[in-house]
Amino acid sequence: MPDREERFRVMLDMVEALVGPEPRVLDLACGTGSITDRLLRRFPGATSTGVDLDPALLAIARGYFAGDERASFVAADLKDPGWTRALPHSSYDAVLTATALHWLHADPLTELYGRIAGLTRDGGVFMNADHMAHEGTPRIDAAERAHRHAGMDRAKAAGALDWEQWWAKAAEDPALAEPTAERYRIYGSHADGDMPSPDWHVRTLLAAGFGEARAVWASPSDTLVLALK
């Protein structure tokens, strides 16, 4: 994924700037714990709660962070109105997510943003780094997509696994075979959500109860939107 580490660096820069170096963090749709890993390496005094529905990715996260009391993981469906009751804390200094919420359509994402606002303490921060479409730039978008996919094709030709191949390998792994089968029972192949514009995210976060919101980083394909409670 292009610029992956850069988005994480900016995200953690803004965590430090707004809530300090020892935050209580909610890693939303955490997957294997990519954000949590970088958070705890940079801020040893931080703690993180990872939440996801995918049993295979949670199995990897729990195995990787086994024995680290700073990290805990919760299985919950973000489309379930009661998912916040599964969390160990009622409020967080920072709620962070990357390349995940585009799986949701606009209406459930709007509802999720309202719940995130309720979890973020006053003065706390929410950040979402994800695919976000832009209006009125079809030629730029087409060129960016073609260039990005050409790079992906080169990486695959050099031996990198694509999405389907990675999951096929997971299904063959003794520790991941059953969680992967359960994952496909939950999700199917791949969910199709929406990719609204950065302006949509800003407006929706402000309406949800955040006091300020704007984009703080962007690549040709992705944008990091920050909202301050």
DSSP summary character for residue 164: H
Write down the pLDDT at residue 37: 98
pTM score, whole prediction: 0.94
Angle between helices 4-19 and 34-42 (to 10 degrees): 50
Confidence of residue 205 (pLDDT cuts 50, 70, 90): very high
DSSP summary character for residue 211: S
pLDDT digits (tens, 9 = 90+) for 47-89: 999 999 999 999 999 999 999 999 999 999 999 999 999 999 9
Buried b (16+ CB within 10 A) or exposed e, 149-181: eeeeeeeeeeeeeeeeeebeebbeeeebeebbe
Positive/negative CA dihedral, 15, 18, 22, 25: negative
82's tokens:
């009661």
* DSSP per-residue codes, 13-68: HHHHHHH-SS-EEEEET-TTTHHHHHHHHH-TT-EEEEEES-HHHHHHHHHHTTT-
Write down the pLDDT at residue 2: 74
Average pLDDT, the chain: 95
Write down the pLDDT at residue 189: 64
pLDDT digits (tens, 9 = 90+) for 159-199: 999 988 999 999 999 999 999 999 989 887 666 788 899 99
- How far apart CA 92 and CA 22 sit, in angstroms, is 12
- Over range 117-138, report the average pLDDT: 95
Pick 203 or 1 by higher pLDDT: 203
Write down the pLDDT at residue 163: 86
Write down the pLDDT at residue 202: 98
